[in-house]
Amino acid sequence: MIIDVSPEELDGASLVRVVAARLAVQACAPRTWADLRLPAQERARIPHELHIVGWSALVENRPEDAAGLLDLVEAVRETRPGTVATFGDDLSGVTVRIDLSGVADADGLHRLLKRELGFPAFYGRNWNAFWDAVTGLVETPGALHFTGWPDFAARLPEDAETLRSLLTDLADFHRTAGGEPRPLVTYA
């Protein structure tokens, strides 16, 4: 799961709410990092990976929020040992792992992509919205590793082909924009 903490216009409470929403614990309406700790620990489906983007600016400009977020990540790791957390300024060196084994339909796939890739709340859960998100709304990670791909492709062959094609086009998009072709994608 990618959590972007770089928006400078957010106040501390807003950042807490943004992180709560990304962790899907917004029902508790937290206003402080302490308010968020227990609901995050009690969350039934804690992410296996947390990739925090915009870390340096957060540490420099709002050290109290950086400390609160770090404490929250450690609380999540206490509840789910083995949780991977990265803190950086971009995603170029990050591999996001996405488990497709529980995906039963196109809507479920788009919900999973939204959650794991950090798409905004208004994401439309369709392929046009996916393209808009990955080319202009969120940063593309350096690599994507899909697990459960063969079974997923058998269940949803058209969506599997569309996703594979769009990810190939995305690498070309980055290459033609003068950057490294990314993401590197593996299917297992």
The amino acid occupying position 95 is T
CA angle 8, 90, 15 (to 5 degrees): 30
> How many other C-beta atoms lie within 10 A of the C-beta of residue 155?
15
The pTM of the whole model exceeds 0.95: no
- Mean pLDDT confidence for 5-26: 75
- Structure confidence at residue 154 (pLDDT): 97
- pLDDT of 63 > 80? The answer is yes
Which residue pairs from 120-123 have beta carbons closer than 8 angstroms and sit at least 24 positions apart in sequence? Answer: 121/21
Instruction: Please indicate whether residue 14 or residue 153 has the higher confidence score (pLDDT).
Output: 153
pLDDT in tens, 94-143: 999 999 999 999 999 999 999 899 898 899 999 999 999 999 888 889 99
- Structure confidence at residue 30 (pLDDT): 76
Which range (1-10, 30-39, 50-59) has the least confidence? 1-10
